Amino acid sequence: MTDLPPAARPDEPAGQPAKPTAGQTLGAMWLYTLLRFGLFLVLWALLWLARVPGLLAGLIAVVLSVPLSYVLLRRQRERVAANLEQRITARQARQQQFDARLSGDAGLSGDARLSGDARLSGADDPEE
């Protein structure tokens, strides 16, 4: 059902922007993670080529990769954060709609709910 365009999806209101799919969110997260590991490995390799001992080179690479990834991978980090925020917002909206339907606030007045409940329970209609 995720292959349908946003206007054709029955569970999403037409006025809301389409939320990213789980695959898009996971893809963005994996890309960001791989780029962070890549940055760490490049720094470690450069330090190893500079004849810094292995464990010390790894430690220095970790310390350097954190601020560098914060600066260099800003676009990817913001994409992951935006995807997660959109998915959370959409989930909260769906939960609120579901709660409203369960509580009976989804467009039915109190009288309409009562008459519908009476019909469902098999009680005789009082107007007969």
Q: Which of 41, 33, 18 is nearest to 76 (CA)?
A: 33
111 inside domain: yes
Strands (E), the chain: none
15 inside domain: no
pLDDT tens for residues 87-97? Answer: 999 999 999 99
86 inside domain: yes
9 inside domain: no
Full residue range of the structural domain in which residue 43 is found: 20-121
11 inside domain: no
As given in the structure block, the two tokens for residue 66 are: 């954190």
106 inside domain: yes
- What 3-state DSSP class applies to 45? helix
Total tally of structural domains belonging to the chain = 1
1 inside domain: no
- What are phi and psi for residue 73, nearest 5 degrees? -110, 30
pLDDT tens for residues 18-75? Answer: 788 989 999 999 999 999 999 999 999 999 999 999 999 999 999 999 999 999 999 9
pLDDT (0 to 100) of residue 7: 45
Quote the CA–CA distance of 54 and 41 in Å, as a whole number.
Answer: 12
36 inside domain: yes
